Chain A
Amino acid sequence: MDYIAAILPPLLQGSAVTLQVFLITLVLAVPLGLGLAMVRISRFKLLSGLVNGYIWLMRGTPLMLQMLFIYFALPFIPVIGVRLPDFPSAILAFVLNYSAYFAEIFRAGIQSIDRGQYEGAKVLGMSYPQTMRRIVLPQVLKRILPPMSNETITLVKDTSLIYVLAMNDLLRAARGIVQRDFTTSPFVVAAAFYLIMTLVLTYGFQRLEKKYAVYDD
């Protein structure tokens, strides 16, 4: 017990890094994903195609590779090349990667809404943006809650990848102690921390699903 109390501070510090990456990624990648989805389903063929290619690229290569590329290779690329510190590099990679997944979730959600909803709104004089904001997206939100729950839980655990940029997240902090003290109990504590985070998320999404259960489609 004393031992666990002793290793808690570094693990809590690691959790803080993990949570930061998680929250910042979520706040930036969800709106970006929505924007990408809107472009993807728009009638602008060229833009839609570009987004399609972007999604293929981001889902088709490992997140870790993307992170390493942004940190190590980006500085050497002409024109857009910038040298980013580790934390912004990690955030950039996570946001770019997760926005692609979120975009596909939003797209599937938007396309699952019946055409009659658009027509019902149109004959009432509602514009396309009004229809999206007031009629379509609120219904999309309900339908995409289960896949969004999946994706955000995955994100919590994916944050452990930032160790490749030598950042001290929860898992790397635990591993450091394991190697120092020759005991595996920090791993167990770290697992408990991850479980608590995903439990909070699971609970939050269940609450949301319950809230939206007041109506049926």
Chain B
Amino acid sequence: MTTSPMIRAVDMHKRFGPVEVLKGVSLDVTKGEVIAVIGPSGSGKSTFLRCLIHLETIHRGSIEIEGESLVSTNVQGHCQYVPPADINRVCRKMGMVFQHFNLFPHLTVLQNVIEAPLTVKGVQLDQIVPKAEALLRKVGLFDKRDSYPSRLSGGQKQRVAIARALAMEPEIMLFDEPTSALDPELTGEVLATMRELAEERMTMIVVTHEMAFAREVAGRAVFMDGGVVVESRPARDLFATPEHPRTQAFLEKIL
């Protein structure tokens, strides 16, 4: 049986004004794969992730999610997004977790988790609350369900953000430096939650500076630099025997 990959990104180009941030990034992600995207800051890792879920638009290239097109470029080089309704449908297959959490401060933890299912999917309250509570149990924050985000630690906030994304039942989870804003002693709890997700065969792309996590949890590691994918190999191999000199230099500096 041939199935289309969960994500197929081909030749993505993205400019911010005159600065080209992505210079032809391609990546295939199969179901259940966990991909760590590493690289120096300014290499385009976050932009790549943000383009996948339409927080930024690309200028050239194509993106397909589960075989459904989000954006494509024809032979004349004309880049065309699908209609807005289709953009929404395709992007809803993905959930995203941000470096700065982006929780809704005026809502309690539980309200944060049930907000989108209620307003976007129209799920009934009595159906979503037990599900949300189960998700909060899973991330270990059931007892914080009625707290406001400002009362939580960074690690707790990020776990709520993960539960909030999962409540929309995405097929793919995107993580944009999920532990970079955390105190070192709080990264562990977030990484543990992500590891659990990976063990449940969630398809994940994780932009991260946590090399240990990338090596141990990710199936594949992608090293980006200067807006291109320099090296993309099984994580263990990439860390053990980096092939490209730039990968070697980066890993040497960071490990």
Contact = CB atoms under 8 A, between A and B. Distances in A.
Contacts of B103: 120
The 5 lowest CB-CB distance pairs between A and B, nearest first, are: A120-B102, A124-B116, A216-B150, A116-B102, A215-B148
B74 interface: no
A124 B55 contact: no
Nearest to A120: B102
A216 B102 CA distance: 14
A124 B115 contact: yes
B116 A119 contact: no
Contacts of B168: 124-125
- Which label, helix, strand, loop or mixed, suits the secondary structure of the A interface? helix
A132 to B, nearest CB: 12
Given A139-B105, A215-B105, A217-B150, A123 B119 contact: no
Nearest to B174: A123
Interface residues of A, number: 22
B115 A134 contact: yes
A142 interface: yes
B102 A126 contact: no
A214 B148 CA distance: 8
A130 interface: yes
Contacts of B164: 124
Contacts of A139: 104-106
A207 interface: no
A125 B92 contact: yes
Nearest to B96: A123
Contacts of B101: 116
Contacts of B95: 123-124
Given A124-B116, A124-B164, 11 more contacts: A114-B102, A120-B104, A121-B104, A122-B55, A125-B92, A125-B121, A125-B168, A130-B120, A134-B115, A215-B105, A217-B105
B241 to A, nearest CB: 36
Interface string B1-13: 0000000000000
A109 to B, nearest CB: 13
A32 interface: no
Contacts of B100: 116
Interface string A133-157: 0110011001000000000000000
Interface in A168-217: 214-217
Given A214-B148, A215-B148, A124 B165 contact: yes
22 contacts: A116-B100, A116-B101, A116-B102, A120-B98, A120-B103, A121-B116, A123-B95, A124-B116, A125-B88, A125-B92, A125-B116, A126-B116, A126-B120, A130-B120, A135-B104, A139-B104, A139-B106, A142-B106, A214-B148, A215-B105, A215-B149, A216-B148
Contact of A119 (B92, B94, B102, B120): B102
Nearest to B116: A124
